Chain A
């Protein structure tokens, strides 16, 4: 009997902590999302039902946020992973001052998001005094000035995706560089003795060997991008709705604490919708990437 209690005793701190700060809130949010007109001050509500979902799904702001989030996800996840793979491959083949390059590529990771946002504003923002560095470049190339921060939607989305890719890249480069470095060199030697082209070596050895890491990055990348919010604030400020650049998490925040906020029920419904979306995408991801398993056992 004593032996059965012991492991649970060891787990108790973690179970308590996770229970109070993770499980309970999740269950609570789920309940809130079905309570209509919940008031956090009086802790009262009118009734239960799916009205919150219906409201959120018909809210133009939410639909806009949903669209923005999907665009960011679809553009940034494949692009950042692909570019990171190219950089990692480059880094792995560099011999001299490799450490310096690695440091340079990793610097953005240890830089504060808001500071990076500030720099991006300086690069892209148009003010009465200057058109910004990027516009200077565009002008030099004979193109007209674009207002990236307060201008057309595509320009803002471009800056947003550029920024997101730039911020998430270092971590991916780091993971992929170490994944490539951990491939047994004998595979490459064997392939080279057999006269294999570098291109085929990449496709038939490197890529399959690091595919678990790639699917890890894609899955966490999707999850991270769906939860994007602080990056948007860093560039467009807190009033994301007026900038037309709100995301789902931004919408949830606004519903809770924003100027139009105070609606925990709507926020909960939006949060559950986000959860459902992320869960669906992750499940699909896991099913697809299962086919790439290195040992091949998962394939059956």
Chain B
């Protein structure tokens, strides 16, 4: 099912008197195509969960509309929207067995949708099979591991065969290894069922690896929407650039002078406007991805070496630079060849596609050609 948000806004009154209201979701206006896995990505408290609650109907929007396909569901109760939802805490009923937990939503069906006991059991078993917990049906949630509980929660959300599946930070309670596994599991289940899925997370790596489309947001505002690689390669602004990627992008104070990007006295790259034409001189932020540095004895980017961290596959060079804005600046290089560390100075040349410049005022990215 295609989900369309039209000028969706949610404002919460501030609990402290006199303080301005909190805009949790600010004018969301986009569509989520049918059958895709979309992640809402942003730092904690940016309104991701509120957006999810608006879509499932637990919260009423202050303004705007929500459409499922062509139907306006804004005024519908959660019951009539028929979405499946998985909560961060899983919210499995502790006093019921796994089977009863999964059957729970089916017992709410009324009228001609009402199911017999056998049908309920059959559907619960199907859902359990899909998430591979068939042998755990008679256990209680407290007797399951975190990953198993997660699967039960997904089975419970899927058992009523919803056309929309919402996942609210589903992996944040799992340990690192299980997280990787479950992430792939969610991807597999989504692709097998083809359910339009919205996945809320604050972990950019998780979002990048799992989603067809990523929605990056901050303080209730949408910053960029697109395919993960596309957002990574051409971030809309400094926030998006900084939020995506581990280790994070290195940001420097720089300037454009005669069509050349300068960081301090280092002329890093010569650029021109897309389609030709010269840039006028102005101060900018320069962002360079860690993988954008190439050790080069003749390189134009000069930095002080702080530490070398060998990580097996590649090497991380922690360096210092007078004009940096980031807390730590580092380059990831595949070989130490050409890295001259004799006098405590390292020289790099910079890959143009890994370098971004941002307007100093608006922090939006300025596109360029080499």
Contacts and interface: CB of A to CB of B under 8 A. Distances in A.
A193 B156 CA distance: 11
A294 B96 CA distance: 9
Contacts of A209: 95
B368 to A, nearest CB: 47
B91 A189 contact: yes
Interface in B51-101: 56-58, 77-80, 82-85, 87-91, 93-96
B108 A294 contact: no
A200 B96 CA distance: 14
Interface in A46-81: none
A190 B160 contact: no
Given A186-B87, A186-B89, A197-B108, A294 B94 contact: yes
B66 to A, nearest CB: 15
A295 interface: yes
Interface residues of A, number: 20
Contact of A190 (B77, B91, B94, B107): B91
A200 B108 contact: yes
A205 B56 contact: no
Interface in A193-222: 193-197, 200, 204-205, 208-209
B354 interface: no
A245 to B, nearest CB: 42
B105 interface: yes
Contacts of B88: 186
A195 B89 contact: no
Interface string A278-300: 00000000000000001110000
Contact of A196 (B56, B91, B108, B156): B108
A192 B89 contact: no
Contacts of A296: 94-95, 140
B87 A189 contact: yes
Interface string A218-255: 00000000000000000000000000000000000000
A194 B104 contact: yes
Q: Of residues B95, B107, B140, which shows the largest number of chain A Cβ atoms within 10 Å of its Cβ?
A: B95
A127 to B, nearest CB: 53
Nearest to A188: B91
A158 interface: no
Given A194-B160, A195-B78, A187 B57 contact: no
A184 interface: yes
A123 B73 CA distance: 56
Interface string B336-356: 000000000000000000000
A194 B58 contact: no
A276 B142 CA distance: 38
B79 to A, nearest CB: 3
A187 B91 CA distance: 5
Contacts of B83: 193
Interface of A, helix, strand, loop or mixed by DSSP: helix
Contacts of B57: 193
Nearest to A292: B95
A210 B39 CA distance: 36
Q: Of residues B58, B80, B93, B140, which shows the largest number of chain A Cβ atoms within 10 Å of its Cβ?
A: B93
B48 to A, nearest CB: 15
Contacts of A193: 56-58, 78, 83-85
A295 B140 contact: yes
A184 B58 CA distance: 15
Nearest to A207: B95
A205 B93 contact: yes
B79 A195 contact: yes
A196 B84 CA distance: 13
Contacts of B107: 200
Contacts of A190: 85, 87, 91, 156
Nearest to A293: B95
A287 B90 CA distance: 32
Contacts of B105: 194-196
A195 B78 CA distance: 6
B51 to A, nearest CB: 15
A294 B78 CA distance: 27
A191 B79 CA distance: 9
Nearest to B153: A190
Contacts of A187: 91, 93
B93 A295 contact: no
Given A193-B85, A196-B108, A186 B91 contact: yes
A195 B142 CA distance: 25
Q: Of residues A189, A192, A193, A296, which shows the largest number of chain B Cβ atoms within 10 Å of its Cβ?
A: A193
A96 to B, nearest CB: 14
B95 A294 contact: yes
Given A192-B58, A296-B95, A184 B140 contact: no
A195 B87 contact: no
B162 to A, nearest CB: 9
A294 B95 CA distance: 5
B108 A295 contact: no
B91 A184 contact: yes
Contacts of A295: 94-95, 140, 142
30 contacts: A184-B89, A186-B87, A186-B88, A186-B90, A186-B91, A187-B91, A187-B93, A189-B85, A190-B87, A190-B156, A192-B78, A193-B57, A193-B78, A194-B78, A194-B104, A194-B105, A195-B78, A195-B79, A195-B105, A196-B79, A196-B104, A196-B108, A197-B108, A200-B107, A204-B96, A204-B104, A205-B93, A208-B93, A295-B142, A296-B140
Interface of B: 56-58, 77-80, 82-85, 87-91, 93-96, 104-105, 107-108, 140, 142, 156, 160
Given A194-B104, A195-B79, A208-B93, 9 more contacts: A190-B85, A190-B156, A191-B104, A192-B58, A194-B78, A195-B105, A200-B107, A295-B94, A296-B95
